[in-house]
Chain A
């Protein structure tokens, strides 16, 4: 298997020179960076440094790929909530009895906006992963190169991986739910079903962690769909708890940082919603509740919801691939894929050494 190449230099030439002969770089040009087993602080530090170094390129990629899709999402959400509000108002005034316009708007949202956002998000994450991998190995890459690398087959493979993961996750959860639905009110069967459902959630978490690096492997190693899943599975191996803990921690940190940034910005998106909300509260408090207030409140939610989701997505696309890729390299170092002779767990007490190109 090509990823089991014994030397780091071979890995570099195979994976960061295009693999197909384009842009081949000689070993002399490669600026080596330390790739060793890292402690938690090192992982954070490396993530921070690489995020800073790739910020401009990542921002450009996200601006080109993800922002248009997010604008589409905001427009879709606004349309959806506005239609929902109008339908509710028609029902309240007795002009209609069902949410008649919702199915067509929902179809547009699900059929156009969400696939566009999914693909754009995937492409952006693959690009940022490619930048990070290139930085980790000391061969910074231009955004055009990264974009050229992920366009086409790698993006299709990444989409395939995500579809497979979703199907697997669905199967794990749907089976016990189906069992529960068959229980027919029998307490014993419901208890068994609940235990099976809880076990399924644990199994799902297990699978998510085992396959956490599939996209990174597609971006960095040009692996196929099943190969990337298999490779991620073996890479996590006995480090499951460590990977779980670190990914959980980094996700919490990223979510917290993103919520700090998005809270004030979301206010702008939710401005009209808040105005309607307080107007409704005011009318309710004064004892003269406005029957149309709820419909207007729902109508005003769309932009805020769209902006909030989009902002979170944009910022996550900026950070998540970086720490996932840094952790991926850490796991590779722990599996001694870079030719280290010994593991150095206590990096904090000595200067970082540069590994030799072998």
Chain B
């Protein structure tokens, strides 16, 4: 059994307040810290090599600027995820709740079938994400050139860069964000709200990305990751699903950049495909839920 003897637990304060304080506090540290690190990284790069200065159009200026800043931004993103998100979360659990951090965060293994189903749920949800994103881009008439420039930070042009991006975009958030959102926030809310914690943290996950156009798809993903965490009492399936989704983004952008048709291209995702894949994703989660009954019967 876990010993809840951290300072927050002993004081008898509200657990929901702890979850909210943790999310807001770490959010502030992360966002401000990341901005600070990004500025340092970009200026360091400017000091080491000359920035692009010849361009014929505004579009070219933006494209060159995105190309020039992408590496320092990727590095600052990775550092801040580990240092400013993961570490403070671990500290918070240890000091506010329990010294048994692994148990609190549900860092435990799970059956291979659950991992496979989490992977399937994420893959089958992916077309919906792409479709929604494409729909909003179309509704706002966002020029394709600007979409491409915006995606440059996640786009690899070589095999080496692709491997590096998998670590930056898929592995790092799957670990750090899952520990904060599911391991800490949802786990703490769950002790008060039960299954409703999946909804609360799922929506907060969408809001936290501060991407208004991505709110629906990110909240949807947050709900899936939260459901997997809640149903299996393990953080691993959520991490697998998170990794899968982000990996698919990197892969499709990589394929598109290299002239191959990637699944990320909005035009290729038809409503019919979404209509088939979305219920299939739901079915994968239902099977996951049934398979995880034993895990839910065991102590938290």
Residues of B within 8 A of A253 (CB): 21, 24-25, 28
**Residue A181 is within 8 A (CB to CB) of chain B in the complex:** no
- The reply to whether A274 and B7 form a contact with Cβ atoms under 8 Å apart is no
**Residue B66 is within 8 A (CB to CB) of chain A in the complex:** no
Residues of B within 8 A of A91 (CB): none
**Residue A282 is within 8 A (CB to CB) of chain B in the complex:** yes
CB proximity of B65 to chain A, nearest CB, Å:
15
Cβ proximity bits B17-33 to A, threshold 8 Å, 1 near / 0 not: 10011001101100100
Partner of A41, one of B21, B143, B212: B21
Stretch at the interface among A44-52, A66-74, A132-140: A44-52
Residues of B within 8 A of A287 (CB): 57
- The reply to whether B58 and A349 form a contact with Cβ atoms under 8 Å apart is no
A residues 239-256 near B (Cβ < 8 Å) are 252-253, 256
With A and B bound together, what is the CA distance between A287 and B143 in angstroms? Answer: 13
- The reply to whether A281 and B143 form a contact with Cβ atoms under 8 Å apart is yes
Residues of A within 8 A of B143 (CB): 278, 281-282, 285
CB proximity of B94 to chain A, nearest CB, Å:
15
Residues of A within 8 A of B215 (CB): 264
- The reply to whether B141 and A279 form a contact with Cβ atoms under 8 Å apart is yes
**Residue B116 is within 8 A (CB to CB) of chain A in the complex:** no
Given contacts A278-B140, A282-B143, A285-B58, contact A45 B212 (CB under 8 A): no
- The reply to whether B24 and A256 form a contact with Cβ atoms under 8 Å apart is yes
- The reply to whether A41 and B59 form a contact with Cβ atoms under 8 Å apart is no
Partner of B16, one of A48, A252, A261: A48
CB proximity of B294 to chain A, nearest CB, Å:
35
Residues of A within 8 A of B10 (CB): 348-349
**Residue A175 is within 8 A (CB to CB) of chain B in the complex:** no
Residues of B within 8 A of A263 (CB): 207, 210, 212
- The reply to whether B212 and A267 form a contact with Cβ atoms under 8 Å apart is yes
**Residue B146 is within 8 A (CB to CB) of chain A in the complex:** yes
Partner of A42, one of B13, B31, B210: B13
Residues of B within 8 A of A4 (CB): none
Residues of A within 8 A of B204 (CB): 260
- The reply to whether B212 and A266 form a contact with Cβ atoms under 8 Å apart is yes
With A and B bound together, what is the CA distance between A279 and B146 in angstroms? Answer: 12
With A and B bound together, what is the CA distance between A45 and B20 in angstroms? Answer: 10
- The reply to whether B8 and A274 form a contact with Cβ atoms under 8 Å apart is no
Residues of B within 8 A of A41 (CB): 7-8, 11, 13, 21
Closest to A39 in B: B11
CB proximity of A108 to chain B, nearest CB, Å:
31
Which secondary structure dominates where chain A touches chain B? helix
- The reply to whether B14 and A45 form a contact with Cβ atoms under 8 Å apart is yes
Q: How many contacts A-B (CB < 8 Å)?
A: 80
- The reply to whether B28 and A44 form a contact with Cβ atoms under 8 Å apart is no
- The reply to whether B17 and A45 form a contact with Cβ atoms under 8 Å apart is yes
Interface size on A, residues (CB 8 A): 33
With A and B bound together, what is the CA distance between A99 and B141 in angstroms? Answer: 31
Residues of B within 8 A of A278 (CB): 140-143, 146
Given contacts A42-B11, A48-B20, A261-B207, contact A275 B212 (CB under 8 A): no
**Residue A284 is within 8 A (CB to CB) of chain B in the complex:** yes
- The reply to whether B140 and A274 form a contact with Cβ atoms under 8 Å apart is yes
Residues of A within 8 A of B293 (CB): none
Partner of A44, one of B17, B140, B212: B17
**Residue B4 is within 8 A (CB to CB) of chain A in the complex:** no
Residues of B within 8 A of A281 (CB): 143, 146
Residues of B within 8 A of A112 (CB): none
Residues of A within 8 A of B58 (CB): 284-285
Closest to A255 in B: B28
**Residue A257 is within 8 A (CB to CB) of chain B in the complex:** yes
Residues of A within 8 A of B212 (CB): 263-264, 266-267
**Residue A351 is within 8 A (CB to CB) of chain B in the complex:** yes
Residues of A within 8 A of B21 (CB): 41, 44, 48, 253
CB proximity of B199 to chain A, nearest CB, Å:
16
**Residue A32 is within 8 A (CB to CB) of chain B in the complex:** no
Residues of A within 8 A of B13 (CB): 41-42, 45
- The reply to whether B59 and A275 form a contact with Cβ atoms under 8 Å apart is no
Closest to A267 in B: B212
CB proximity of B221 to chain A, nearest CB, Å:
15
- The reply to whether A275 and B11 form a contact with Cβ atoms under 8 Å apart is no
Cβ proximity bits A28-70 to B, threshold 8 Å, 1 near / 0 not: 0000000000010110110011000000000000000000000
Q: Could you name 8 residue pairs across A and B whose Cβ atoms are closer than 8 Å?
A: A259-B210, A260-B208, A279-B141, A281-B146, A282-B141, A285-B58, A347-B11, A348-B7
* Residues in chain A within 8 A of chain B (CB atoms): 39, 41-42, 44-45, 48-49, 252-253, 256-257, 259-261, 263-264, 266-267, 271, 274-275, 278-279, 281-282, 284-285, 287, 347-349, 351-352
Known: A253-B24, A264-B212, A285-B57. 18 other contacts (CB 8 A): A44-B17, A45-B13, A48-B17, A49-B14, A260-B27, A260-B207, A260-B210, A263-B210, A263-B212, A264-B207, A278-B143, A285-B143, A347-B11, A348-B7, A348-B8, A348-B10, A352-B11, A352-B12
